[in-house]
Amino acid sequence: MLDWKRKDGSELNKHPSPTRHKMFEEYTSVIGEHQGRSRQLWRKVLYEDQGVPDNYVDSSFLREMQKNLFVRSYNYWSVVLSTGCITQQINTVIIFVMCFIYLQEKLLTSYLLNSISAVLLLLGYAFTVLTNCSACDIKALIIFCTAAFVLSPVLMSLTETISTDTIYAMTAIMLLAHLISYDYELHASTDGVISFNAGIFATVCLASRLPNLLLGYSLIILSAFVFGMLPNMRRELRSHFFPYLDIIMTVVHFVCALALVCSKSFTVAILLFCGFFFIMFICPHLLVRLQPLKNNLHGPWDEAVVVES
């Protein structure tokens, strides 16, 4: 049996005091409780006390992490074909602006433009009847043309007191807003009210700078086809004959816009060609190359999403 002695030779008290004994029991109980809680499986719930802070997570929390869960893989040429709807609308706006320039410089008469607009509107109506789509509402079209003819003096006088530079700046902003708010989807989810109104507003601004009312009326009628009927017709054709007819429409739009611009400025035509080359070929290449570099993390920290059945 061991004898417990101090350094001076006196014997130690073999029986601990009650205070020390109580402290030892409390310490062992705390250790036992902590070990029991650590053996419990931690759950991601806040409605019960698990003996840990609310912001505590264990190693199982990151097991649910997923990487690039919804990343799509694109084919280069399919993306190139998809840029057709963008370039077509940009070319449409360019053709419309060039028609205004031709009218202003008297290179295009109102009778010729009205004849072209009438033919295009009739073709649009025939297309509507044959395909049974809603690209052209003949009743709404007649109302619009009549209202535009009656209100042409008022529309052209609305911006007479505004300087020409301001008019052109407002037109550029509205046409840019038209392109931004345009619905480029194959099956449009919106009716394009903002895009159409921006185009009409730009038309009113440009019509106020034409020499006479008949030219202004001709430009307004052309805008009804360009901003109202033509987008729906292209979308309907694209849904039935994609991608073959869509390629033809892209080439026709581009050639017409490039020819009209080239007749006024060869330098601008070169810049236009480079811009469309960048949109149609460089941008899809960048998208395909950069898509695998995505690093989206999904896990239990994401907000819950309610999926409607």
Q: Which 3 state secondary structure label does DSSP give 58?
A: coil
- Calpha distance 286→224 (Å, rounded): 36
- Calpha distance 90→175 (Å, rounded): 10
Q: Which residues of 106-138 are buried (b: 16+ CB within 10 A; e: fewer)?
A: eebebeebbebbeebbeebbebbeeeebebbee
Mean pLDDT of 190-197: 78
Is the model's pLDDT at 294 over the cut of 60? yes
Q: 């049996």: which residue's tokens?
A: 1
Q: Which residues contact 2 (CB under 8 A, 6 or more apart)?
A: none
Q: What is the pTM of this model?
A: 0.73
The reported pLDDT for the residue numbered 128 is 72
Q: 């505004």: which residue's tokens?
A: 162
Per-residue pLDDT of 246-279, as tens digits, reads 888 899 999 999 999 999 999 999 999 999 999 9
Query: Of 86 and 292, which is predicted with more confidence?
Result: 86
Where are the extended beta strands (E) located within the chain?
66-67, 297-298
Residue type, 301: W
Q: Other C-beta atoms within 10 Å of 79: how many?
A: 18
